[in-house]
Amino acid sequence: MQATSTLMAAAAASDQPGAGPVLRIFLVVAIVGGVFLAWFLLRGYGDKGNND
């Protein structure tokens, strides 16, 4: 009887939204922000032509 109620409680808890969507949004924002930061920092290292 105890195992059945524990199993039912676990099934009920799995139906509730958890950190999945929040974590997914955080990861997407972090990746996009990292790409933007890399572009911003590396754009100044391109060859702009030397005026020697």
Q: Which amino acid is at 22?
A: V
pLDDT of 14 higher than 70: no
Q: Which amino acid is at 26?
A: F
As a whole number, the mean pLDDT across the chain is: 77
Choose between 14 and 32: higher pLDDT.
32
Domain extents in the chain = 19-44
- Over residues 15-34, the pLDDT tens digits come to 566 778 889 999 999 999 99
Percentage, residues of the chain above pLDDT 90: 38
Rounded to whole angstroms, the Cα distance separating 28 from 10 reads 29
The pLDDT value recorded for residue 51 is 58
- Tell me the DSSP string of the chain: -HHHHHHHHHHHHHHS--SHHHHHHHHHHHHHHHHHHHHHHHGGGS------
Q: How far is CA 8 from CA 18, 20, 29, in A?
A: 17, 21, 35
pLDDT of 36 higher than 70: yes
